[in-house]
Amino acid sequence: MDEMDIRELDRQYVANTYARSDVLFVRGSGAQVFDDRGKRYIDLGAGIGVNVFGIADPEWRGAVVEQLSKLQHMSNLYYTEPCVRLAEELCRRTGMRKVFFGNSGAEANECAIKTARKWAFDLCGDERRSTIITLKNSFHGRTVTTLAATGQEAFHTKFGPFTPGFVHASAQDAGEVRALADRGDCCAVMMELIQGEGGVVPLEREYVDEVVSIAREQDMLVIVDEVQTGNGRTGTLYAYEQYGFTPDIVTTAKGLGGGLPLGACMMGERVENTLTFGSHGSTFGGNPIACAGALNIIRRIDDELLEGVRRKGEYVKKALSGAKGVKGVTGMGLMTGILTEKPAGEVVRAAIARGVVPLTAHEKVRLLPPLTITDEELSEAVEILKEVIGE
Ligand SMILES: *Cc1c(COP(=O)(O)O)cnc(C)c1O
């Protein structure tokens, strides 16, 4: 079957929710990926920050295949080892106390939202504190509830009625968070420390400090959405470490499974016993294969790897800042946003034609390469990107 057939079949049978690029990828290795004609590309997107160790990483694959040949699924009615080991490793590395596993970022956030509301319900005996403050320009997922949580008006049409109980505050002015918290009906504030889909916009340290102290004063929970920033992406295992505070709830997904669907909601001391028997669940959540792969990934995100992420991130920032056609570079570690004079979509199209695969985020070009991309691959890709941006 040639690639025209696949494109036509896609248009005929797959829901029209994606404006796909013309490329048909068939295989890869690490940060290199090949299309059906054998053309080689350097991958600066990693499946939207998913393939943290690149494509078909031998060690990760080994862990996955080993588990696949033993037991692929049994349901959460019984004990299975991989999800337990992964939860233990995540708690050991973060200081969180308990983990609930789902299959995606949206599900991890749904769990965080349910946990915060149940925590407030247990505290007050009713739903008077069910509201959650989220930030303008945020992104928290595509379910009806996580769309409501998402602080972008563009997501709040056509699918209503949306889940009530979300209010949106400025991501720059903590005064707006304070004003909402002062109403007395809020149980939590939920934020991405770097707004990923919103254009790779890191929150200011002072802003985050203030939001955290408002939450502490008002006895509210702090939920950090690390679906995109987590699992080594920003140069620490989780980005909150660089902001110097400990959240009550951390959600993650994307990179966690190294390419298999897996989401986690990690619960700190204040909420570790909030969810009780029957209060939440997922058929596929904690799937043994996904968790066996994730355990391999998390164990290998060590100090040396993270040091490399920070160093490579600095290199990217330096190489692109002030380059022709570049108006600004934002981000942390290997999560980079580039504001270009040309429209981002045009840059991406031209880059793909030259064998480099970046992403966009709002008006920016976004880079989320595998954390293990080599220096040579990175410099080759960045040089091509610079040419394409400056043309
Ligand atoms: C991608 C993303 C989500 C949604 O994750 P899915 O796995 O697509 O449900 C939620 N929050 C953030 C910050 C994300 O980047």
CATH of the domain at 27: 3.90.1150.10
Mean pLDDT in residue range 294-313: 98
pLDDT number for residue 335: 98
For residues 383 and 321, membership in a common domain is answered with yes
Q: Which of 265, 300, 335 is the last residue of a domain?
A: 300
Q: What tokens appear for 274 in the block?
A: 């909030």
The preferred substitution site among 137, 146, 227, 231 for testing ligand 1, maximizing ligand atoms within 8 Å of CB, is 227
Say how many domains are in the chain.
2
| Polymer length in residues for the chain | 391
Cα–ligand 1 centroid distance for 146 (angstroms): 9
Which atom belonging to ligand 1 lies closest to the Cα atom of 138?
A: 13
pLDDT tens, position by position, 136-163: 999 999 999 999 999 999 999 999 999 9
Does 292 sit in the ligand 1 pocket, CB within 6 Å?
Answer: no
- Mean of the per-residue pLDDT values of the chain: 97
Q: Is the pLDDT of residue 368 over 70?
A: yes
Handedness of CA 224, 225, 228, 230 (dihedral sign): positive
Q: Is the pLDDT of residue 180 over 60?
A: yes
For residues 292 and 178, membership in a common domain is answered with yes
Q: Is the pLDDT of residue 73 over 60?
A: yes
Does 110 sit in the ligand 1 pocket, CB within 6 Å?
Answer: no
Cα–ligand 1 centroid distance for 209 (angstroms): 24
For residues 239 and 259, membership in a common domain is answered with yes
For residues 129 and 92, membership in a common domain is answered with yes
pLDDT number for residue 2: 55
The preferred substitution site among 147, 197, 240, 368 for testing ligand 1, maximizing ligand atoms within 8 Å of CB, is 197
Does 260 sit in the ligand 1 pocket, CB within 6 Å?
Answer: no
| Distance between CA atoms of residues 202 and 171, nearest Å | 9
Cα–ligand 1 centroid distance for 382 (angstroms): 26
Q: How many helices (H) and strands (E) does the chain have?
A: 12, 17
For residues 145 and 268, membership in a common domain is answered with yes
For residues 332 and 347, membership in a common domain is answered with yes
For residues 296 and 310, membership in a common domain is answered with no
Task: Report CA Rg, the chain.
Answer: 21
pTM reported for the whole predicted model: 0.98
For residues 206 and 316, membership in a common domain is answered with no
Cα–ligand 1 centroid distance for 225 (angstroms): 8
Does 111 sit in the ligand 1 pocket, CB within 6 Å?
Answer: no
Q: Is the pLDDT of residue 210 over 60?
A: yes
Mean pLDDT in residue range 272-279: 97
Local confidence band at 4 (pLDDT 50, 70, 90 cut-offs): low
Q: Which of 300, 322, 355 is the last residue of a domain?
A: 300
For residues 243 and 292, membership in a common domain is answered with yes
Angle at 254 between CA 253 and CA 259, to 5 degrees: 115
Whether omega before 161 lies within 30 degrees of 0, making that bond cis, reads yes
Cα–ligand 1 centroid distance for 147 (angstroms): 11
For residues 234 and 120, membership in a common domain is answered with yes
Mean pLDDT in residue range 11-38: 96
Q: Which residues contact 309 (CB under 8 A, 6 or more apart)?
A: 232, 233, 234, 235, 333, 334, 371
Cα–ligand 1 centroid distance for 331 (angstroms): 17
Mean pLDDT in residue range 259-281: 98
pLDDT number for residue 390: 97
Mean pLDDT in residue range 127-138: 98
353 alpha-carbon distance from chain centroid: 27
Does 377 sit in the ligand 1 pocket, CB within 6 Å?
Answer: no
Cα–ligand 1 centroid distance for 140 (angstroms): 6
Q: What tokens appear for 336 in the block?
A: 């980079």
Mean pLDDT in residue range 60-83: 98
Q: Which of 283, 300, 317 is the last residue of a domain?
A: 300
| Distance between CA atoms of residues 127 and 125, nearest Å | 7
For residues 237 and 293, membership in a common domain is answered with yes
Does 47 sit in the ligand 1 pocket, CB within 6 Å?
Answer: no
- Domain of residue 337 covers 3-52+303-390
For residues 292 and 310, membership in a common domain is answered with no
Strand order across the 32-35 sheet: 25-29, 32-35, 40-43, 356-357
CATH of the domain at 146: 3.40.640.10
| Distance between CA atoms of residues 72 and 233, nearest Å | 28
